[in-house]
Structure 1
Amino acid sequence: MATNSTPKKPAADAAAEESVEAVTDTAPARPARTAAPDPDVVGPPLPLNVEPVTVTLVHHHTVDGTDYPPGSMLFVSPEYAQRLRGQGYATQV
């Protein structure tokens, strides 16, 4: 029969080491959100020779980490405006 020559750690020391490890692990920081900037085109870039359209948001929406509350008016590309309206984020004109 084989015997283990490695001494066992007392249970109190093992629990203390585990609790220290648990405290030192931290979740990654969430990036800070910024307030809505001056009216610029948001979302996907505009194709050449296409004018942006204005949409009014019905629901809270976040684009590229920027929060836009309901009632915000955004300049977006026509295709993006259609997607926002279809998904219920913008008012129907």
Structure 2
Amino acid sequence: MATNSTPKKPAADAAAEESVEAVTETAPPRPARTAAADPDVVGPALPAGVDPVTVTLAHHHTIDGTDYPPGAKLLVSPDYAQRLHGQGYATQV
């Protein structure tokens, strides 16, 4: 059986060696606030700089607790529109 021949340091000595002087730095400024997404856009939030697209629902669908009947026209993000089309909830344009 192999043994470790390295002596173990006591905890007090190890903590004393690792202590470092406190360095004070100023925090970087907060980024500017951006406006909230358009409240007419439903579903996941729009990425910055992307325009919403209009989809027409083919079936009854509930988004964020709101029921939308078939034929409802909604503004959604492009990636969410693609998901709705792929799942059959939105008509193909």
TM range, normalised to the smaller chain?
Answer: 0.5 to 0.7
Partner secondary structure for residue 74 of structure 1: strand
**Higher helix proportion:** 1
Give the number of aligned pairs: 55
For 2:91 and 2:71, locate their aligned partners in 1 and report how far apart those are by CA, in whole Å.
Answer: 9
Q: Once the two structures are superposed, what CA deviation does each residue of 1:6-49 show, in whole Å capped at 9, x if it has no partner?
A: xxxxxxxxxxxxxxxxxxxxxxxxxxxxxxxxx70000000000
For 2:40 and 2:70, locate their aligned partners in 1 and report how far apart those are by CA, in whole Å.
Answer: 17
TM-score normalized with structure 1 length: 0.58
Mark the runs of 5 or more structure 1 residues left unpaired by the alignment. 1-38
1:66 aligns with 2:72: no
The answer for the alignment partner of 1:55 in structure 2 is 55
Partner secondary structure for residue 85 of structure 1: helix
Decide which structure has the larger Cα Rg and report it.
Answer: 2
Q: Once the two structures are superposed, what CA deviation does each residue of 1:41-74 show, in whole Å capped at 9, x if it has no partner?
A: 0000000000000000000000111000000000
Deviation of 1:89 (Å): 0.1
Mark the runs of 5 or more structure 2 residues left unpaired by the alignment. 1-38
The answer for the alignment partner of 2:15 in structure 1 is none
The answer for the alignment partner of 2:83 in structure 1 is 83
- Superposition CA RMSD, Å: 1.0
For 2:65 and 2:50, locate their aligned partners in 1 and report how far apart those are by CA, in whole Å.
Answer: 25
